C-alpha cells in the first residue's frame, strides 16, 4: 500500500472489479432478431461470421486499364472490352487490355490496373502505358478485406453506425442482439421538484432524473421512470416492489450518512445493501443493493457525482451485463493546462475541456455543479497522491464516447 492511499476508501479499480463480477453473475441473455435499421446502439448476441469473401471478386481500385503484366512489352495494347462496375466481364483476350472503372470486376487473366492518368490513348485506339507497371497494382484482390468464415464482429460488440455499415458490406440484413435492459431510475430527496412545477422554499429541480433517463436511453435501455421517491418507509417499500421486473434500479441521493435514508433502510431490512466509500472525487459514496432479487446501484446525489459514478461504474456494469467486453472509458494522456499542487487522497475527475492542445479546468469543480460538465468535453483524471506542473501529461477521458 502506498502512503497516499486513504485508509478505508475503496480504490476505483477494486469497486469496478467487484461490480463487473456482479454483472457477470447476472448476464442478460435473452436475444431478439432485428433488422440492421433497428439495431443501432444494441449489443450483438452472436458473432458475425462472413458468409462471403470481401471483396467477393478482384476489382479495380482506379479508373483506367486492366491488363496481364506478361502481355506488356512496352508496346501499346489494343482495348478489347469496357468494364463498368456492376458488369460481369469476359476473360481478357490475350495481348490486349480492358478499359475498366473503379469497382468493376477484373477480367479473368488480368493481374494489374493502370490509372488513366498514366496511360495515353492513341489515335488508332490502342493504349500506351507511360510508367513501369507492377503485378497487382491498383487491384483489390478477392478476400483482401475479409475471408468467408472469418469472425468479423464478436458477440458482445456494441453496434454503432460503423459496425452496422460493416454488417451491410457482408450482406447481413438482420442481427441477433441482446434484448434491451430494463432500467429503473429513482430520485431520492424531499427537496426535489420536477421542472415545470413551481419551486418552493428549500426545493431544487430534479436534474439527475433527466440526466440518467436520457443517458440510459442513449445506451439502448428501456427506461422505467421511477420518479421521486418520497421520504417514507412504506412508500419506498411499495415503489421497490413495483419495480420487481426490471434488470437494474439506479437511484441517486441518500447514500451518504444522512438520516432520512429510507431506501437504505428498506434494503437493509428486506434485501441486501453494501455501502462503499470510494477513493474518487466526486463520487465517494456508492451503494450496491438488491431488493427481491433486483440489483440496485445507488449513486451519490450531487449531479457531478452522479455523472462520474454513472460513467465510471454504472455504465461499465450495465454494459458487462449485456456481454460487452470493453467497458471502461477511453483514456489518453494530454498536457495539463493547469498546475495541481495539492496531492489528494481521492482520485479526482475534473471537468475539463481540451483546447489548443491542453486540458483546461472548469472554474468551479464543486460536485453540485452540473454546468461544468456541460462546459466540459471530458474528465481529467488526477490520480491519488499526484501533483502536476502545467504541461505535464495527465489522463483525459472524453465524455462524447461515454454518453452513447
Would you count residue 300 as binding ligand MOO (CB under 6 A)?
Answer: yes
The β-bridge partners of 94 are none
Q: Which of 284, 315, 320, 321 binds ligand MOO (CB under 6 A)?
A: 284
- For the bound state, the minimum distance from the C-beta of residue 195 to ligand LQZAQKY5, rounded and expressed in Å, comes to 11
Cβ distance to ligand LQZAQKY5 smaller for residue 109 or 300: 300
Nearer to ligand MOO, 283 or 289 (CB): 283
Between the alpha carbon of residue 272 and those of residues 276, 290, 310, the distances in Å are 13, 5, 21
Binding mask 202-241 for ligand LQZAQKY5 (x = CB under 6 A): --x-xxxx--------------------------------
Restricting to residues 357-376, which ones interact with ligand MOO according to CB under 6 A? Answer: 367
Contact present, 383 and 365 (Cβ < 8 Å): no
Between vectors from CA 67 to CA 66 and to CA 68, what angle results, nearest 5°? 145
C-alpha cell at position 349: 475527475
Binding mask 364-383 for ligand LQZAQKY5 (x = CB under 6 A): ---xx---------------
Residue 302 is a binding residue for ligand LQZAQKY5 (CB under 6 A): yes
347 binds ligand MOO, rule: CB under 6 A: no
**In Å, what is the CA distance from 310 to each residue of 50, 286, 299, 307?**
36, 10, 7, 5
Task: Please report, for residues 38, 78, 180, 198, 306, the alpha-carbon distance to residue 41 in angstroms, rounded to integers and kept in the order given.
Answer: 9, 53, 10, 36, 22
Does the protein bind ligand MOO through residue 303 (CB under 6 A)? Answer: no
Q: What share of the chain is helix, strand, coil (3-state, %, to 5)?
A: 20, 30, 45
Query: How far apart, in whole angstroms, are the C-alpha atoms of residue 306 and residue 367?
Result: 9
Applying CB under 6 A, among 157, 208, 287, 302 the residue interacting with ligand MOO is 302
Does the protein bind ligand MOO through residue 282 (CB under 6 A)?
yes
| Closest C-alpha to 66, from 33, 39, 103, 30 | 103
Return residues touching ligand MOO (CB under 6 A): 281-284, 300, 302, 305, 367
Return residues touching ligand LQZAQKY5 (CB under 6 A): 187, 189, 191-192, 204, 206-209, 252-258, 282, 284-285, 300-303, 305, 367-368
Amino acid at each position: 500500500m502506498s502512503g497516499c492511499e486513504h485508509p478505508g476508501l475503496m480504490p476505483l479499480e477494486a469497486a469496478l472489479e467487484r461490480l463487473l463480477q456482479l454483472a457477470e453473475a447476472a448476464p442478460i441473455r435473452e436475444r431478439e432478431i432485428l433488422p440492421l435499421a433497428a439495431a443501432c446502439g444494441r449489443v450483438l448476441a452472436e458473432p458475425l461470421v462472413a458468409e462471403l469473401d470481401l471483396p467477393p471478386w478482384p476489382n479495380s481500385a482506379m479508373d483506367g486499364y486492366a491488363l496481364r503484366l506478361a502481355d506488356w512489352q512496352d508496346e501499346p495494347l489494343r482495348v478489347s472490352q469496357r468494364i463498368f462496375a456492376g458488369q460481369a466481364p469476359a476473360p481478357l483476350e490475350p495481348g490486349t487490355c480492358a478499359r475498366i472503372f473503379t469497382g468493376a470486376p477484373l477480367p479473368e487473366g488480368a493481374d494489374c490496373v493502370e490509372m488513366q492518368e498514366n496511360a495515353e490513348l492513341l489515335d488508332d485506339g490502342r493504349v500506351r502505358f507511360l510508367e513501369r507497371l507492377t503485378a497487382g497494382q491498383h487491384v483489390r484482390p478477392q478476400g483482401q478485406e475479409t475471408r468467408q468464415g472469418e469472425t468479423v464482429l464478436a458477440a458482445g460488440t456494441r453496434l454503432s453506425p460503423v459496425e452496422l455499415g460493416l454488417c451491410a458490406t457482408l450482406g447481413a440484413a438482420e442481427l441477433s442482439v441482446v434484448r434491451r435492459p430494463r432500467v429503473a431510475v429513482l430520485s431520492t430527496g424531499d427537496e426535489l421538484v420536477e421542472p415545470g412545477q413551481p419551486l418552493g422554499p428549500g426545493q431544487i429541480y430534479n436534474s439527475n432524473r433527466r440526466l440518467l433517463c436520457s443517458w440510459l436511453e442513449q445506451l439502448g435501455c428501456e427506461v422505467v421512470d421511477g420518479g421521486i421517491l418520497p421520504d417514507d418507509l412504506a412508500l419506498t417499500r411499495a415503489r421497490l416492489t413495483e419495480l420487481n421486473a426490471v434488470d437494474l434500479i439506479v437511484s441517486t441521493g441518500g447514500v451518504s450518512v444522512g438520516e432520512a435514508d429510507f431506501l437504505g433502510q428498506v434494503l437493509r431490512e428486506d434485501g441486501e445493501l453494501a455501502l462503499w466509500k470510494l477513493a474518487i472525487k466526486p463520487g465517494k459514496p456508492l451503494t450496491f443493493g438488491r431488493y427481491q432479487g433486483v440489483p440496485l446501484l445507488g449513486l451519490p446525489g450531487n449531479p457531478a457525482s452522479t455523472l462520474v459514478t454513472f460513467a465510471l461504474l454504472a455504465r461499465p456494469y450495465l454494459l458487462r451485463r449485456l456481454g460487452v467486453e470493453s467497458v471502461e472509458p477511453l483514456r489518453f494522456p494530454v498536457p495539463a493546462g493547469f498546475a495541481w499542487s495539492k496531492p489528494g487522497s481521492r482520485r479526482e475527475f475534473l471537468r475539463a475541456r481540451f483546447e489548443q492542445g491542453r486540458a483546461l479546468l472548469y472554474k468551479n469543480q464543486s460536485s453540485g455543479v452540473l454546468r461544468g460538465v456541460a462546459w466540459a468535453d471530458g474528465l481529467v483524471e488526477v490520480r491519488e497522491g499526484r501533483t502536476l506542473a502545467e504541461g505535464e501529461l495527465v489522463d483525459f477521458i472524453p465524455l462524447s464516447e461515454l454518453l452513447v
